[in-house]
């Protein structure tokens, strides 16, 4: 049962691909309040969803805002991350329903924050579409929702390899060193990411020829080593006379405008920038075609950044702030005024007032940015993806974005944004995966080892041991932090082994990913989806099902020699020491304490299931998909449908095939 309610005159976000008829009935479950809805939560209710957000798989106990935000310091008390995903599922004893609010403006979800037993949804705009979905299980609700929003993005097969990133590899030479660091040490790798410094003065679709003089040769040279270079693209275009993108944007009115109709000036990486009006169809087509600049240099993948859009400052705000700072010069700054002074400077970035002071031309209408804020990253990424269909027809291009809104899942993946080298962020990576999967974002993962702050060897190893199960597997760290490439640690062998295991797992990961994408299913599922009657399983948030055959239980505590794992049913534990199986053991239902070394990965095969493993390889192309070793827990026999395809053909020309594996 899907019911669609239209309130006011909502903007068409194109989140929903397959619209159902409007319902004239009363809205079920939710009580209508002045600015939204409320719902009484029962003690046993679990609230799933909300995509990219902090806290648990069960979202109860906090207040979340859908308000795409650049927050690399996010904590437990953060309310908004990079994406805005207004889909949730309430799952209780007696009922299970899903809610999707299709509105590109800010929405607040108070899930038992103000009152422990009340969910309150508050909208900032009176025009929206509301979908209520009702099914027996949360999994069915996800299926129904995904059929509404359309199929998930398919990355090329090589994008399931391991990628290494750093803000930044500043020169072609550094890129070559990173490639060598992996290849010489036999640490598998398929991608090296280029962060902002490959560009000339941070200008989109340029190459810094001083530091990357032979960019095209570098791309080809890496390609010969089985490595793709994946450059970053910024959401802002530098204001610079003579820079073609800037000039074209100005002439054609492709940039967002301020209230007076001038091109809106914001500070981003290059300093003063304009935002391409991604919501203006013409501007979007224009911007998307600019990716050609890199495609024709042999690039086959991109990541779109800063497209919340992040604003370091607006020109006007900066002026005002400098004026206000003057008044503090002569003040006796006490506890009150001192914090005001600090807050003033802090308020320069991503200021809500700035988001209210520029405008889009959306379907021919001038619309203030704050009313469509959450669409910017979506439409930027769509601009590229739609262009790829013309520029590289029939070919899958790797693409993932920092900011997102539901609908964008058809065009690209997302990475989980700028995170930190914290054990808590390792655990959050695990918890975020199923929430994003519910919303259609299947190709996703967090920056392994953490982007900001300094990593430690054990953190990176433990995070790799989780990261090998993420569709998007990338190690990334920020300028000024400790280097964390796998080959730089004392215990390089452990990193090599764990990443090597990823390559053994590839046929299974790819198969499960593609089946989930093609059948509107989930790749990573909470235990509560499989064992809804098991009161322990539904509250277990540090384990997860990956595909149909296995459960994972990563170690996320420093200095832990192992961890307690909960088995909702009898399973077979497989312990890998690096790439090799070191132990297999059937464990009964219940809690088990397992020692897990820093070089080990432990996983659990469900009864009646098979885990096919390849021999491995140092890049995806080397992996032999044919000769698989079948690990299984199948006292009665079992079979497994292994999906495969050429790994490069886009959805329109996709020719997938299933191979039945049997034991």
Give the residue numbers marked as catalytic.
305, 308, 418
CA atoms of 401 and 100, how far apart (whole Å): 22
Measured between alpha carbons, how far is 88 from 101 in angstroms, rounded to an integer? Answer: 9
Stretch that binds a second copy, among 26-34, 312-320, 390-398, 646-654 (CB under 8 A): 312-320
Of 15 and 268, the one with the shorter C-beta distance to a second copy is 268
E strands in 9-72: 31-33, 36-40, 46-49, 62-66
Which residue is it, tokens 């399931």? 160
The nearest distance, CB 662 to a second copy, in angstroms, is: 37
Does residue 533 touch a second copy according to CB under 8 A? no
As given in the structure block, the two tokens for residue 217 are 């040769």
Q: Total residues at the site for a second copy (CB under 8 A)?
A: 71
Determine contact, residues 412/385, Cβ cutoff 8 Å.
yes
Residue 73 Cα distances to 81, 137, 392, 572, angstroms: 10, 35, 37, 39
At residue 416, φ and ψ (nearest 5 deg) are -80, 15
Does position 29 bind a second copy by CB under 8 A? no
Token pair recorded at residue 58: 């069960």
Nearer to a second copy, 409 or 592 (CB): 592
82 vs 465: CA distance, rounded Å? 25
Q: Which is nearer to a second copy, 31 or 75 (CB)?
A: 75
Query: 147 with 141: CB under 8 angstroms?
Result: no
- Shortest separation between residue 404's beta carbon and a second copy, angstroms: 23
Q: Which parts of 120-179 interact with a second copy (CB under 8 A)?
A: none
Q: Which of 452, 569, 428, 429 is nearest to 76 (CA)?
A: 428
| 329 touches a second copy by CB under 8 A | yes
- Positions in 594-653 near a second copy (CB under 8 A): none
> Which of residues 202 and 633 has its CB atom nearest to a second copy in the complex?
202
Task: Tell which one of 332, 364, 655, 657 touches a second copy (CB under 8 A).
Answer: 332
- Closer Cβ to a second copy, 271 or 608, answer by number: 271
Q: Which one of residues 39, 97, 169, 423 is an interface residue with a second copy (CB under 8 A)? A: 423
Least distance from a second copy to the Cβ atom of residue 457, Å:
5
Minimum CB distance to a second copy smaller for 307 or for 511: 307
Site for a second copy in 542-571 (CB under 8 A): 557-562, 564, 566
CB of 440 to a second copy, least distance (A): 25
Handedness of CA 18, 21, 22, 23 (dihedral sign): negative
Q: Give 452's strand partners.
A: 420
Smallest distance from a second copy to CB 485, Å: 16
Among positions 47-86, residues that touch a second copy (CB under 8 A) are 55-56, 58, 60-62, 75-77
Chosen residue from 113, 170, 293, 625 binding a second copy by CB under 8 A: 113
Binding flag, residue 93, a second copy (CB under 8 A) = no
The counts of H helices and E strands in the chain are 15, 40
Contact set for a second copy, span 338-367 (CB under 8 A) = 338, 341-342, 345-346, 348-349
Least Cβ distance, residue 641 to a second copy (angstroms): 35
Among 491, 577, 622, 649, binds a second copy (CB under 8 A): 491
Question: Can you spell out the DSSP letters for 363-411?
Answer: TTEEEEHHHHGGGHHHHHHHHHHHHHHHHSTTB--EEEESSEETTGGGT
Residues in 200-259 that interact with a second copy by CB under 8 A: 201-202
How far is Cα 638 from Cα 521, in angstroms, rounded to an integer?
A: 21
Quote the crossing angle between the two packed helices 215-224 and 172-184, to the nearest 10°: 10
Near a second copy in 251-310, by CB under 8 A: 267-272
458 is a contact residue toward a second copy (CB under 8 A):
yes
Examine residue 196 and tell whether it contacts a second copy (CB under 8 A).
yes
Buried b / exposed e along 456-473 (16+ C-beta atoms within 10 A): bbbbbbbbbbbbbbbbbb
């Amino acid at each position: 049962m899907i019911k669609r309610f239209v309130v006011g005159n909502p903007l068409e976000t194109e989140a929903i691909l397959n619209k159902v008829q409007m319902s004239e009935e009363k809205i079920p479950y939710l009580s209508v309040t002045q600015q939204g809805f409320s719902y009484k939560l029962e003690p046993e209710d679990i609230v799933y969803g909300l995509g990219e957000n902090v806290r648990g798989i069960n979202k109860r106990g906090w207040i979340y805002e859908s308000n795409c935000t650049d927050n690399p310091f996010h904590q437990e008390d953060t309310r908004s991350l990079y994406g805005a995903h207004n889909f949730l599922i309430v799952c209780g004893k007696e009922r299970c329903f899903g809610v999707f609010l299709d509105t590109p403006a800010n929405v607040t979800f108070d899930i038992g924050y103000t009152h422990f037993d009340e969910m309150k949804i508050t909208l900032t705009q009176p025009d929206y579409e509301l979908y209520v979905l009702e099914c027996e299980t949360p999994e069915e609700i996800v299926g129904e929702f995904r059929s509404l929003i359309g199929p998930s993005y398919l990355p090329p097969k090589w994008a399931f390899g391991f990628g290494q990133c750093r803000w930044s590899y500043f020169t072609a030479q550094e890129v070559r060193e990173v490639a060598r660091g992996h290849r010489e040490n036999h640490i598998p790798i398929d991608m090296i990411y280029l962060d902002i410094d490959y560009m000339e003065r941070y200008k989109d679709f340029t190459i810094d020829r001083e530091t990357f003089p032979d960019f095209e040769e570098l791309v080809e040279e890496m390609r010969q080593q089985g490595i793709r270079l994946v450059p970053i693209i910024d959401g802002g275009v530098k204001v610079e006379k003579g820079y073609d993108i800037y000039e074209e944007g100005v002439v054609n009115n492709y940039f967002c405008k301020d209230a007076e109709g001038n091109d809106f000036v914001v500070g981003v990486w290059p300093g003063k920038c304009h935002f391409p009006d991604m919501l203006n169809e013409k501007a979007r087509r224009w911007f998307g075609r600019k990716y050609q600049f890199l495609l024709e240099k042999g690039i086959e993948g991109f990541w779109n950044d800063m497209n919340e859009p992040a604003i370091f400052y607006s020109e006007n705000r900066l002026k005002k702030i400098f004026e206000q700072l003057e008044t503090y010069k002569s003040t006796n700054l006490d506890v009150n005024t001192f914090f005001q002074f600090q807050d003033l400077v802090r308020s320069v970035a991503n200021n809500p007032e700035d988001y209210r002071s520029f405008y889009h031309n959306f379907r021919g209408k001038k619309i203030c940015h704050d009313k469509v804020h959450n669409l910017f990253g979506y439409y930027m990424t769509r601009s590229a993806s739609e262009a790829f269909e013309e520029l590289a027809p029939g070919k899958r291009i790797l693409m993932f974005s920092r900011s997102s809104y539901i609908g964008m899942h058809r065009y690209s993946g997302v990475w989980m944004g700028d995170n930190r080298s914290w054990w808590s962020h390792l655990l959050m990576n695990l918890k975020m995966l199923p929430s994003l999967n519910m919303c259609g974002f299947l190709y996703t993962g967090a920056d392994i080892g953490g982007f900001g702050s300094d990593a430690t060897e054990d953190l990176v190893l433990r995070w790799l041991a989780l990261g090998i199960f993420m569709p998007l597997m990338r190690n990334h760290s920020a300028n000024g932090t400790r280097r964390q490439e796998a080959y730089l640690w004392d215990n390089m062998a452990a990193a090599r082994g764990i990443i090597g295991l990823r390559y053994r797992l590839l046929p299974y990961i790819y198969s499960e990913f593609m089946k989930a994408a093609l059948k509107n299913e989930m790749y990573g599922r909470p235990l509560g989806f499989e064992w809804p009657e098991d009161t322990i399983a539904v509250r277990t948030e540090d384990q997860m099902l990956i595909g149909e055959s296995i459960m994972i239980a990563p170690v996320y505590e420093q200095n832990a020699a192992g961890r307690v794992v909960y088995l909702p049913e009898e399973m077979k534990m497989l312990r890998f020491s690096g790439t090799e199986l070191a132990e297999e053991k059937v464990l009964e239902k219940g809690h088990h304490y397992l020692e897990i070394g820093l070089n080990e990965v432990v996983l659990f095969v469900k009864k009646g299931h098979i885990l096919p493993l390849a021999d491995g390889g140092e890049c995806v192309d080397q992996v032999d998909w044919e000769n698989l070793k079948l690990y299984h827990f199948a006292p009665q026999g079992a079979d497994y449908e292994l999906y495969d395809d050429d790994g490069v053909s886009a959805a329109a020309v996709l020719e997938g095939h299933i191979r039945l594996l049997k034991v």
